Amino acid sequence: MSAATHNPLFPLIDAALASAAERSGAWLACRPGCHQCCVGVFPVSPLDVATLREGLAAAAEDVRGRVLARAATSREQLIAMGFPGDAATGELFTEEEHEEAFEEYANDEVCPALDPASGTCDLYAHRPVQCRTFGPPVRDEEGALTVCELCFIDAPEAEVERCEMDQRWRGLEAELIEEIDAADRATVVAWAILPWTSKADV
C-alpha cells in the first residue's frame, strides 16, 4: 500500500482540515511561510515514517539531497542534546524516564523537511498526521481542546469550539498503524528520513 497516494486516511484528514479551516476563517493564521509548527520535535508513528520515506523517494534529486543533509545535521544535534531513546535506531522512549524528558526536549530544533529559504515543507504532500492537523482547534489525548498559539487570538471559547476539527478518522489511523511492521516504533522526523542513506552519502 502506498502510504500517501492510496492511504484512505489522508483524504479524510484533509477534508476535516478543509472544513475546520473554512469555519475558522480569519482566526486561522496558517499560510505558506508561517512555520512555527515546524519548530520543535514531536513523535511520528510508523505510518508517518512510511509516508515520509515515500515522499523522500519521490522528491527531485536536489530536494532529496537537501532534506537528507538537514536530517543528518539535525540527528547529530539531537544526539548531542541527549536523545530520549535509542540514538542508534531513533526509537523513542526506550527507558521509563524518557517520556518525561521529551516534554522539554529540543523545542527549538527545526524540522529537517522545512526549506528555510521559503518557509515551506519540502515533503508537504507526505507530511505526518500531526502536521496535517496543526492549526485549527483539536482535542488532545486528555480531551482538552488545543489550538496553535498564533491562531484564534482573543477568540471567544464558543468560537473556538465551533471550529473544532472532526477527528473521527483516529480509529482508522490506529488500524493502519497496526498494519505496519511491528519493528517500526515511534521516532522523530530526522530518524524517519535519514535511513534512506548514510551520512557519508549526503
Report yes or no on 96 lying in a domain.
yes
Report yes or no on 99 lying in a domain.
yes
Q: Which residue, chain included where needed, has cell 489522508?
A: 10
Give me the domain span that covers residue 126: 9-23+39-195
Report yes or no on 202 lying in a domain.
no
C-alpha distance from residue 173 to each of 17, 166, 170 (Å): 15, 14, 5
Report yes or no on 112 lying in a domain.
yes
Count of structural domains, the chain? 1
Report yes or no on 71 lying in a domain.
yes
C-alpha cell at 126: 507526505
Query: Residue 3's pLDDT is what?
Result: 43
Query: Residue 6's pLDDT is what?
Result: 62
Report yes or no on 3 lying in a domain.
no
C-alpha cell at 158: 464558543
User: Tens-of-pLDDT digits for all 202 residues of the chain?
Assistant: 344 446 789 999 999 999 999 999 999 999 888 998 999 999 999 999 999 999 999 999 999 999 999 999 999 999 999 999 999 999 999 999 999 999 999 999 999 999 999 999 999 999 999 999 999 999 988 889 999 999 999 999 999 999 999 999 999 999 998 887 655 588 999 999 986 444 444 3
Q: Which residue, chain included where needed, has cell 469555519?
A: 23
Query: Residue 181's pLDDT is what?
Result: 63
Report yes or no on 121 lying in a domain.
yes
Report yes or no on 28 lying in a domain.
no
Query: Residue 184's pLDDT is what?
Result: 59
